[in-house]
Every structure is written in structure tokens, then in C-alpha cells.
Amino acid sequence: MASVTSLTASVNAHLASALSATLPEATDADPLLRRSDRADYQANGILALAKKAKANPRELATQVVEKITAPGLFKDVEVSGPGFLNITVTDKAIIDTLAARAADGDRLGVPLKDKPGITVIDYAQPNVAKEMHVGHLRSAVIGDALRGMLDFTGEQTIGRHHIGDWGTQFGMLIQYLIENPDELSAETDTDGEQAMSNLNRVYKASRAVFDSDDAFKERARKRVVALQSGDKETLDLWQRFVDESKVYFYSVFEKLDMEIRDDEIVGESAYNDGMPETARLLEEMGVAVRSEGALVVFFDEIRGKDDKPVPLIVQKADGGFGYAASDLTAIRNRVVDLHATALLYVVDVRQSLHFKMVFEAARRAGWLTGEVTAHNMAYGTVLGADGKPFKTRAGETVRLEDLLDEAVQRAAEVVREKAQDLTEDEIQERAAQVGIGAVKYADLSTSANRDYKFDLDQMVSLNGDTSVYLQYAYARIKSILRKAEGADPVAHPELELHAAERTLGLHLDAFGDTVFEAAAEYAPHKLAAYLYQLASLYTSFYDKCPVLKADTEEQKANRLFLCDLTARTLHQGMALLGIRTPERL
Ligand code: ARG
């Protein structure tokens, strides 16, 4: 593995050293490079620096230019405006850098972090005995993409699927099963859909009895107590609900083309044993106080209706622990036992108040220290075409599976229309990759905190900022590479480049910088935007620069080289987002 310094970083480093040779107080960050329309880059940090040093910015800029020594890298550096530098790099530097990237396999020259941390990502957290709906989609998709990007930077990631597998509803379910043992076969299902339909049936039936029969209600309540006190028979039955649900979860995650590991499914129940201690510690430290029998944490700055402070309830007056207690215990586990340096929660914006309070309580208790960051990546709502929260025509929440099936079906229509040499099996396989990719990309290409419209027509459209557009771009490049027969993609740094080749080349070089930025900011939409722009720049390169009919063999090889690196970058970038790129479409 050989990591490559990006051109942006090289230019920056040279400018920074020329700058500090002129002004000793300048730092590496001072040149402030931007990509620019006028040249390859524009450095506009000199202005502020000159102001601070009470120097004339244009004069300072001119002195900096005189001190630059890197003949191979800079083609032109020109002082412009009030003291900007417009910078053009040489064609050779572009192709040399890209050739080094191309020689580095899947990593494309992207370095690994110097000091990787451990990020625990809490994502894809459905609830036991409940159907997954459109609301569970975003957490899974965004979490998986963030993880892909962070891993690629060298960060160590640990997944935590904080599934809802505990609570009073299990009293009702288990009691019903005790009284109707044949309702759920002792053997766990292997088919996900079957598993869910069994669970649904049991849920509905037990609910009906619970709502109509007071004696059953009382037995169900006692069953909760038995569950909490660890009664063996009760726990065994609880486990059956969990196992049956997991079969279902896995089937949906598989449909989503997402790998979920069993040892990372650590639900609310996993923190049961630690909750009494969490409560005891909080009370001893005075972080939590008794109020009307309950143990609560108060916050001055967090107020609800009537301007009354909203407390975080650690333990209810009846002694029961809830959602907050499990999350606080989970923080202790993640920081102390897993040695996390960052906690990331990919959870709906509607829970952001909960996390705000949980994080603050954990800080007061000293479980979250300055070295550990905690962030709730609070994503917005999925809306229907009418701009209201996404519902079926009958006004019900949309089952996630139905939605995915429909996306794949729509994708099949698109693939079939364009398919030239594909068999029916291939069409179906592509349809899954295109349909699921479309759903993921639509989610990932909008900034996560915003709501987005679930609009299948738009998602599978070939025009515009969609995954299908990117997948077609990739497949087209692969087809060109196949047609090139015999002619290999080989970099020719001695050639003079067309403007469109330069722009494409500079963008290709920025892949690693983009992934690092997107990962650090937990912003997959930045990577999505980069990839979309890559496909667009490739299209204009292809329009302006004949590849197979290039002027010379060298030019053809060099253009094939650009095609090949574009394809590999698209493939890798999409893979980090969890999206496939079929070789043919
Ligand atoms: N299972 C919860 C829900 O469906 C989400 C869990 C989020 N994670 C957490 N650590 N609280 O609403």
C-alpha cells in the first residue's frame, strides 16, 4: 500500500512553506485553497494574514510567489484581485499523481488516519415483534454508509444495533404464548416473512385479549415482573420472540444488501444488569435526585411546556428502568469496555431531546469526558410525494419490505428498457442492485438532517442526481474498456492535456480528501455529491475527448487510463455508500 499526497495537499504545503519564509508566523492552514474556475486552485488566505501582519496583501502575495520552488508542480502562479493567488498545476503533475493512485489497488492512494480512534455507531435498531417500517430505513442506510466511510479512513468502528427487545409489552406477549403454546412453533422459522407474519398474528391476538379481558391483563402484568426477576420459563419464551424477530430483521437487511453481524445486535435488554448500578452511581454523585419517588436528572436549560424543567427519568417510582437507563448504561459500556473515542447515534430527530439529556447526564457523571465525542446524527422524516410523512393510501405506515420490493420492481422496468444483451436472470439481479441503490442514494444524497421525499419515479430516473445515473456511467466506462481490446490503460505524463481531462483529473485526485471530509463531518451527502460530479465531469470529458479514436496510441492509452481510474473511483465511492455498481447495465 502506498498512499499518495493529493495535489491539493502538495500545493498547499508548497505555498505554506513559501509563505512562512516570507512571514514566519504563517501556518500550514493559511493558504486556504479552493478549487476555482479561473485556475486549478485559488489561495485566498493571504488576505487575512496580511491584515494581521499589517502588510500590503498584493505585495505579500508577490513575495510568496517569488519564494515558491517546485518547478514540476506549478505551471503558473499569478497574483490576482486584492491578493489572491491563482494556481495552475502542470499536466505532468496531474497524471503522475493519478498514476500513483492507480497503482494502489482499491485504496486509490488514499492514506489511513495517523491516529485512528474507535467509533461506536448505534444504527439499524428495529424493535422485537414489530414490523420494520420506512422510519427504520434511514438509520440503517445512513449508519451503514458512515461506517463504510469511517472504516476506509482507518477508523475502527464497532456497530451497535440497539434493538427494542425489552419492555412491558413482553408481559402480554409471553403470557399469551403460555396460554396458547401452539401459536408460535417451538422451532424458529427460517423464512423472514413467515417469522414476521407469525409475530404479527401473536401480537394482534394477544392485544385483543389484553384489551378485553381484565383477568388476562393482570396475568400479563405479573408476567412482566417474572420477566424482570429473571424467571427461567419466562426468559426462554422471551428469547423465542427475540430469535424469531432476528430471522425477520436479517431477511430485511439482506434485501437492503447490508451486512449485519450477530455479535453487534446488542439490544436494550443487554444493559439490564448494569442499570441498578447506573442509578446508584448517579444518585451517589448527586447527578440524579429523587423526585416523587422517581430518580431523575434535572436540567436548567432544558424546558418543556409551561416552562417547567423536563427531567430525564432514570428510574420510575415503581422501581422500573426505562429507555434512558439503558442508554446511560450503554454509554458506560461503550466508553469503559469498548474504549470508544466517539459515540455516534444514527437516530430520528424526534429523539434528539432524549440524547441531549442522556449526553449531558453522562457528562455530569464523568462517563463522557472531553476526549469522547457524542453525537446524535438526527435525521429527518421520509415524506410522501404530497410532502407529508410517508403513508400508504389507506393512511397506514409503509412496511419497509413492501417499499423495497416496489423499488426493485420499478428498477426492473428501467433495466429492461435499456437492456441489450442481458438475460432475464441478469435483469432481475441488476434490478435489485439498481432498485436498492436508488433507495439508498436518494437518502444519502440529501443532508441527513433534512426531510426527503420518497419519490420512486425520481429515484430510478436516468437523468439527474440518482444512483442509476452513476451506475450507468460506470457500466458505460466498463463497456468502453472492453471495446478497447488489446489497448491497455496506461498513464502518459508527457502528454499535453485537454481542459476537460485536467478537470476530470483534478477531481479524481480529490477522492481521498473528500472521503476524509465526509467521514469527519458525518456527511455522506458530500461523498454522494462528489460522485455525481465525477460522473458529470467524465461525461464532458467523453464528449470532448475521443477515447477509442484518439489522435495517437499514447493519447488513447492515457484516456483509457482516465476512464479506468474514473470507473474504479466510482466503484469504490459507491461501495463506501453501500451501493453496487454492476459491470453491465
Ligand atoms: N429502537 C429504537 C426505536 O425504534 C431506536 C434505538 C436508538 N438507539 C438508542 N441507543 N437509543 O425507536
Cα–Cα distance between 329 and 334 in angstroms, integer? Answer: 9
What is the residue-level pLDDT of the chain in tens, covering all 585 positions?
A: 789 999 999 999 999 999 988 888 888 777 889 988 889 999 988 888 888 888 899 999 999 999 998 879 999 999 999 989 999 999 999 999 999 999 999 999 999 999 999 999 999 999 999 999 888 999 999 999 999 999 999 999 999 999 999 999 999 999 999 999 988 877 777 898 889 989 999 999 999 999 999 999 999 999 999 998 899 999 999 999 999 999 999 999 999 999 999 999 999 999 999 999 999 999 999 999 999 999 999 998 887 777 888 899 999 999 999 999 999 999 999 999 999 999 999 999 999 999 999 999 999 999 999 999 999 999 999 998 888 888 888 888 888 999 999 999 999 999 999 887 789 999 999 999 999 999 999 999 999 999 988 999 999 999 899 999 999 999 999 999 999 988 999 999 999 999 999 999 999 999 999 999 999 999 999 999 999 999 999 999 999 999 999 999 999 999 999 999 999 999 999 999 999 999 998
503 CA → ligand 1 middle, Å = 44
**Distance from Cα 580 to the centre of ligand 1, integer Å:** 28
Q: Is the CB–ligand 1 distance for residue 329 below 6 Å? A: no
- Number of the ligand 1 atom closest to the C-alpha atom of 347: 7
- Nearest Cα neighbor of 152 from 109, 121, 98 is 109
Distances (CA, A) of 289 to 308, 316, 361, 405: 17, 12, 12, 50
Q: Does the beta carbon of 251 sit less than 6 angstroms from any atom of ligand 1?
A: no
**Pocket lining: 266 vs ligand 1, CB cutoff 6 Å:** no
SS3 100: helix
**Distance (Å, rounded) from C-alpha 198 to C-alpha 203?**
9
The contacts found for 226-229 with CB under 8 angstroms, 24 or more apart, are: 227/170, 227/171, 227/174, 228/320
Q: What is the domain partition of the chain in residue ranges?
A: 7-89, 118-163+269-376, 169-261, 440-576
3-state secondary structure of 196: helix
Pocket test for ligand 1, best of 121, 123, 125, 343 (most atoms within 8 A of CB): 125
Ligand 1: centre distance to CA 122 (Å): 8
Q: pTM, whole model, 2 decimals?
A: 0.95
How far, in Å, CA of 186 to CA of 56, rounded? 82
Helices and strands (DSSP H and E) totals, the chain: 20, 13
CA of 370 to the centre of ligand 1 (A): 25
From CA 53, how far away is CA 19, in angstroms rounded? Answer: 12
Q: Three-state SS for 416?
A: helix
Q: Which helix (H) or strand (E) holds 457?
A: helix 456-459
CB atoms closer than 10 angstroms to residue 373: 14
Q: From CA 2, how far away is CA 388, in angstroms rounded?
A: 49
Residue 507 to residue 540: CA distance in whole angstroms: 13
- Gap between the Cα atoms of 397 and 380, Å rounded: 16
Place of cell 439499524: 124
Closest CA to 266 of 119, 118, 121: 121
Counting Cβ atoms within 10 Å, is residue 354 exposed (0-12), middle (13-18) or buried (19+)? middle
Distance 351 CA to ligand 1 centre (A): 8
C-alpha 430/C-alpha 434 separation (Å) is 6
For domain 118-163+269-376, the CATH superfamily is HUPs (3.40.50.620)
Instruction: Report which of 414, 529, 418, 530 is spatially closest to residue 461, judged by C-alpha positions.
Output: 414
122 CB within 6 A, ligand 1: yes
- Out of 1.10.4000.10, 3.30.160.150, 1.10.730.10, 4.10.490.10, the CATH code matching 440-576 is 1.10.730.10
CA 507 to ligand 1 centroid distance, Å: 38
Atom of ligand 1 nearest to the CA of 327: 10
Measured distance between the N- and C-terminal CA atoms of the chain, rounded to whole angstroms:
32
Which residue, by CA, sits nearest to atom 8 of ligand 1? 162
Q: How far is the CA of 161 from the centre of ligand 1 (A)?
A: 8
Q: In which region does residue 192 sit, left (phi positive, over 0), alpha (psi from -120 to 50) or beta (all else)?
A: alpha
7-89 belongs to CATH 3.40.30.10: no
Our answer on whether the CB atom of 333 is closer than 6 Å to any ligand 1 atom is: no
Residue 135 CA: nearest ligand 1 atom is 4
Which residues, including other chains, have CB under 8 Å from residue 208's CB and lie 6 or more apart?
none
Q: What are the phi and psi torsion angles at 376 (to 5°)?
A: -100, 110
